[in-house]
Amino acid sequence: MNAATTASPASDTATANPTAINRFDALADQVLDGNPISREQALEILKTPDDEVLNLLSAGFRIRQKHFGKTVQLYFLMSAKSGLCPEDCHYCSQSKISEAPVPKHNILKRDDLMAAAKMAADRGAKTYCLVISARGPNEREMSAVEQIVPEIKQKYDLDICACLGLLSREQADRLKACGVDRVNHNLNTSEEHYADICTTHTYADRVGTLRNVRDAGMEMCSGGIIGMGEKHEDVVSMAFDLQELGVQSIPLNFLNAIEGTPLEGNKDLSPHDCLRALAMFRFVNPDRELRISGGREIHLRTLQPLGLYVANSLFVGDYLTTQGQAPEEDYQMIKDLGFEVTKSTGETPTC
């Protein structure tokens, strides 16, 4: 990929094949000039033929490079409470309707949470993501988070992202006060598609939590899952809702249709579909952190490195209930691309 690649004027390319001209560079120019793309243009990106996906990524790389250079930020996930969730999110192996054999435990003890923080720091992660399975945190879980967050931040150079489910404004204020930097709460899909993937809470509930997080003065991390039977319009709608909410960080997952969940066996995605979606999110949210998240190993497969030409972040290690690839493979991939892992301090860990 050459960031400097631009369409050659037709007069200079009498012998050039017109299909070699990168039509996406005009779109990148539009974004780089500060003019947002329209929903129609975003929809067109999702319809890019496979043969043109490299051109799309090349143009998207120019946007990524302007805002993030060649840096890659790593996140480390810790499932602090697993299973036992009363909600019915159809994609989730921890929901009350899932029959998947996932670990079931209440919030982990201090020592386990500290050991995971050490692992996150050792792996060069910028952010430690503390996740519980819940509709929202109960008082015991809130207190546990309030106790552990200052301790982690005192000992390690890690930002803390809490993913605790739906939050009231008062709970958001308490998280801010104890040192939580960011809260993750994914929109997951569009408002129109939401009732097809969850019936125990609404899209509006999720948006409400994000507003509480924002109003409490924390950063918002929110993204979605591709491959849940949604239409292109749903994916575009989610990307624009995230833009309008002003989320700072966008994790994009690709459905890992776990056996025992209502969406099991759903394997609609090709590697090119994943790349188109990542590129569209980059064009719509040019300066926002874009993280290739769950499902990258099974859906992008050998094309994972190409995703980093538009995304600038990865989870390193395992996901909540599924395995990721070995961290060493991620470090090698980043190094082979000529990119570098950065932390908030600007350090580069040994790869």
Known binding-site residue numbers: 85, 89, 92, 129, 161, 221, 291
Q: Which of 58, 79, 127, 133 is the binder for ligand SF4 (CB under 6 A)?
A: 133
Instruction: Tell me, letter by letter, the H, E, C secondary structure of the chain.
Output: CCCCCCCCCHHHCCCCCHHHCCCHHHHHHHHHCCCCCCHHHHHHHHCCCHHHHHHHHHHHHHHHHHHHCCEEEEEEEEEEEECCCCCCCCCCCCCCCCCCCCCCECCCCHHHHHHHHHHHHHCCCCEEEEEECCCCCCHHHHHHHHHHHHHHHHHCCCEEEEECCCCCHHHHHHHHHHCCCEEECCCECCCCCHHHHCCCCCHHHHHHHHHHHHHCCCEEECCEEECCCCCHHHHHHHHHHHHHHCCCEEEEEECCCCCCCCCCCCCCCCHHHHHHHHHHHHHHCCCCEEEECCCHHHHCHHHHHHHCCCCCEEECCCCCCCCCCCHHHHHHHHHHHCCEECCCCCCCCCC
State the nearest-atom distance from the C-beta of 320 to ligand SF4, in Å. Answer: 8
67-86 binders of ligand SF4 (CB under 6 A): 85
- Nearer Cβ to ligand SF4, position 123 or 206? 206
163-182 binders of ligand SF4 (CB under 6 A): 165
Q: In the annotation, is 89 catalytic?
A: yes
Q: Which of 24, 59, 87, 277 is the binder for ligand SF4 (CB under 6 A)?
A: 87
According to the binding rule CB under 6 A, does residue 95 interact with ligand SF4? Answer: yes
According to the binding rule CB under 6 A, does residue 161 interact with ligand SF4? Answer: no
Q: Which of 163, 198, 221, 274 is catalytic?
A: 221
Q: Which of 48, 94, 190, 304 is the binder for ligand SF4 (CB under 6 A)?
A: 94
Q: Which of 27, 53, 92, 277 is the binder for ligand SF4 (CB under 6 A)?
A: 92
According to the binding rule CB under 6 A, does residue 190 interact with ligand SF4? Answer: no
State the nearest-atom distance from the C-beta of 225 to ligand SF4, in Å. Answer: 10
According to the binding rule CB under 6 A, does residue 89 interact with ligand SF4? Answer: yes
Task: Dig out the tokens for 217 from the structure.
Answer: 């003065």
Stretch that binds ligand SF4, among 15-23, 91-99, 153-161, 272-280 (CB under 6 A): 91-99
Q: Which of 123, 161, 163, 198 is catalytic?
A: 161
State the nearest-atom distance from the C-beta of 183 to ligand SF4, in Å. Answer: 13
Where do contacts with ligand SF4 occur on this chain (CB under 6 A)? 85, 87, 89, 92, 94-95, 133, 135, 165
Q: Which residues are catalytic?
A: 85, 89, 92, 129, 161, 221, 291
